[in-house]
A and B are shown apart, each in its own frame.
Chain A
Amino acid sequence: MDQSQTLQAIVQEAHARSRPLAIRGGGSKAFYGRQTPECDRLDLSGHQGIVDYAPNELFITLRAGTPLQVLEAQLSEAGQILPFEPPHFGPAATIGGTLACGFSGPRRPYAGSARDTVLGMRILNGQGEILRFGGQVMKNVAGYDVSRLMVGALGTLGVLLEVSLKVLPRPDHAVTLVQRVDPATAVQRMNLWAGQPLPLSATAYDGEHLYIRLSGTGSAVRAAQTRLGGERLPDAEAAAFWVALREQRHVFFQGDAPLWRLAVAPATPPLPLAGQTLVEWGGGQRWLRGVRDATALRQLVAEHGGHATLFRGGDRHDEVFHPLTPPLLAVQQRLKAAFDPRAVLNPGHLYVVL
């Protein structure tokens, strides 16, 4: 049901009184971002519904509170998928929350990120104005790209009301291969293959085994399978493996120890870190567990052109995202003010000052 007017009234009121709001969809990603003081809640979970879906035009438009499950079921009926294979982290996950967090899954390095999928959005800015940017077409360069700017902003620039996304046909076939290799070889292979015309759709390394998923037409997958070699996982087991990895139910993610996400240039050799590292995205995304010296970890990752996020657990009152350089932080503060002058939308959720 369309609740835009109700949501708008709440934001207008919050703006008028300078009272912060905590934006919430399904609550499945409440663990993410900085922890901020209790405040009024803006609940998007009732703002649901698919507004427009044209499979042959490869786009879908839907309200932000629509559950990911509902969206994916609808796409599945037409033989289509969300290219970025988003994690849900719970049955209540909404598309709005997923985009606000900017979460992408295993297919991301080969088919694009959550932000790459966005075609347009309708948002509420911090003054409670309903604004529309982008559209339903692949190409649209009228005005600044505000809709993609919203992805990963954790709701601090605007409340997502309605989004239009690019969708893709589901590949006919998928095969997962497993090879036993050492960590350095795993990263080398992932990057070597990414430079060749192969139908890669996911790669991961758990410290012992390199997992390679190939997706596409039967003939293309078979040809690549022969070329790369390795043991083929039974289909059901393979599907379960990628879902477990995406949903962080893999054994690596069990327990309460803090979880760090390291994003680095993909060909970066294994980093000198104590403990096990789980590698995804062709080497670009690496996971680490445990209480760590945040400053030292961030410095190490930055040397490889990357950034480190305290993804789950640990001290969430301090900054959890990689610190920004002073000029970048200053620009982002001015951007925040440009959208939300009284800082009523999720203030402090992304960075202390945003």
Chain B
Amino acid sequence: MSAPPDSAAFLAELRAALSAEAVLSGAEDLRPYECDGLSVLRELPLCVVLPTDREGVQAVLHLCQRYGVAVVPRGAGTGLSGGARPIRGAVLLSLARLRDILAIDLENRTARVQPGVRNLAISEAARPLGLYYAPDPSSQIACSIGGNVAENSGGVHCLKYGLTVHNILALEVLTAAGEALQIGSQAPDSPGYDLLALMTGSEGLLGVVTECTVRLLPVPEHTLVLLAAFSSVVAAAESVGAIIAAGIIPAGLEMMDQLAIEAAEDFVHAGYPRDAAAILLCELDGSVVELKERRQEVEVILQRHGASAIRMAEDAATRLLLWKGRKAAFPAVGRLAPDYYCMDGTIPRQRLAEVLERIAAWSVEYGLRVANVFHAGDGNLHPLILYDANAEGQLHAAEEFGRRILELCVAVGGSVTGEHGVGVEKLDSMCVQFNAAELAQLHRIKHAFDPEDRLNPGKAVPSLHRCAELGAMHVHHGRLPFPELERF
């Protein structure tokens, strides 16, 4: 994508429409925006615009349409797949200054917020009313609700409380042409097609969110966390299946393997048992009487599956400490090596053991260590591949290793991304998960909203051409992934 023929005039019009300080175009001003949370992919945009209201966003989109300039929307920039990575010659549209909580409706239990409002800020504002916003991605202190909608963010409580798509009621969206769409409402369901579902997780390709109404839930009466140590990851995974089979849906179920445990323990001293092959964190919520029963049931199941040590945290401080180790797992692992590459595949839980076995084998093959953090309740696996970008060939090896993990996730019936999105990072892996007809259908959906392909172009859905070349390359190397596995 190249800059418009007359970029000086374009920038002048942007400044006139917003304000001089709301349009950044000097290289040093653009630098902070050169990447999102996936920092290996960097690019400078034509300019960064920082509107403060919907009218400003609309003015930017109108000008971009007139000049034929592409637009990359950006929330807090915490995304992990390059979804908000700038495109050369395109405008980077930051929604960070649209940061007001517009209304909290206690009776209907909803909050109407601007896209730049931080995820955690919604829960903080609702807390005095006994309510909160359920999806809680690990980046919740920083990430914005607009970005959550774009990525359909999850968090550690998805199994019981769902993803972003299950917790929002309405969106105000501007199309690439700057046209406003009111999607959904406080009423259940909505007439016509479910654009709310379609828009959620569309990675900024279908529209720019300028307002969002979220559903608020009552804060549970009581919460407790159980920590169990296991001598094998298989035993830990089986205990998860047994808990669910007993009819219990925990609020959170997280697993970490030995390397992740050690890293977290060194970093935050949460009191995790260092000698365990795996630990399981199980959060239960509900009424006090209910939890008394549930806790016993879960403890029995854990013991039956060989849990060697079980600790329980009921008070907020201990609970937070146990969670802190998990929530800090990424930065903790980050201390073990100069760089790490965070993967985000999903798999049916019953295939966990074989997936981990293969990852361990590849770890030896590539000479790169891997720590595994697993949202055990919902099958979302985050292998963290440790490498050193300054060591010859290691980045390339880490990327290839990662790609093979994602291909394996697809082969066992899962997905190349559970919550981080495709962005630019997983475009090649998308070619493995979807065939040409499916990708063509996704492109037709895009064009129904954005016929000129100007909103975040080239992200999220790979071109058929790209996949064809990749397919040829795979055959060239004589290595089609997992020929022995039945394909879905």
Chain A residues engaging chain B, CB cutoff 8 angstroms: 54-58, 79, 102, 108-109, 112-113, 115-116, 125, 129-133, 135-146, 148-149, 151-153, 157, 168-170, 172, 191, 194-199, 216-217, 219-220, 222-224, 263-267, 281, 284-285, 304-307, 309, 321-325, 327-329, 331-332, 334-335, 337-339, 350-351, 354
Contacts and interface: CB of A to CB of B under 8 A. Distances in A.
A228 B165 CA distance: 31
For the complex of A and B, 3 pairs with smallest distance between CB atoms: A169-B247, A265-B186, A267-B107
Contact of B218 (A136, A168, A197, A304): A197
A338 B448 contact: yes
A146 B219 CA distance: 32
Contacts of A115: 194, 197
B439 to A, nearest CB: 8
A28 to B, nearest CB: 19
Given A172-B247, A219-B289, 8 more contacts: A140-B414, A141-B151, A141-B415, A191-B108, A197-B220, A265-B185, A332-B193, A338-B447
A195 B166 CA distance: 17
B397 interface: no
Given A223-B289, A263-B187, A332-B192, A137 B461 contact: no
Contacts of B286: 197, 216-217, 220
Q: Which of B109, B180, B189, B286 has the most CB of A within 10 A?
A: B189
Interface in B102-137: 105-109, 129-131
Interface stretch (B27-35, B64-72, B334-342, B345-353): B345-353
B200 A217 contact: no
B15 interface: no
Interface stretch (B269-277, B357-365, B419-427): B419-427
B442 interface: yes
B249 interface: yes
A305 B187 contact: yes
B201 A145 contact: yes
Contacts of B129: 195
A321 B192 contact: yes
Given A135-B413, A267-B107, A54 B350 contact: yes
B416 A56 contact: no
B346 A153 contact: no
Nearest to B286: A220
Contacts of A219: 287, 289-290, 292-293
Contacts of B473: none
B162 interface: yes
Given A305-B185, A335-B448, A55 B245 contact: yes
B153 to A, nearest CB: 9
B244 interface: yes
B350 A139 contact: no
Contacts of B158: 138-139
A331 B449 contact: yes
B188 A263 contact: yes
A267 B417 contact: no
Contacts of A56: 241-242, 244-245, 349-350
Interface stretch (B5-13, B40-48, B302-310, B375-383): B375-383
Contact of B441 (A131, A216, A281): A131
B195 interface: yes
Contacts of B347: 137
A116 B378 contact: no
A103 to B, nearest CB: 10
Given A131-B437, A138-B158, A324-B192, A220 B289 contact: yes
Given A125-B441, A307-B191, A137 B109 contact: no
Q: Which of A144, A146, A196, A339 has the most CB of B within 10 A?
A: A144
A285 B189 CA distance: 10
A109 B185 contact: no
B444 interface: yes
Contacts of B449: 331, 334
Interface string B133-159: 000000000000000000110100011
Contacts of B446: 144
A149 B197 contact: yes
Contacts of B187: 263-265, 284, 304-307
A321 B448 contact: no
Contacts of B219: 197
Contact of A142 (B162, B349, B416): B416
A264 B191 CA distance: 12
Contacts of B163: 138-139
Given A149-B197, A169-B248, A264-B187, A139 B379 contact: yes
B190 A307 contact: yes
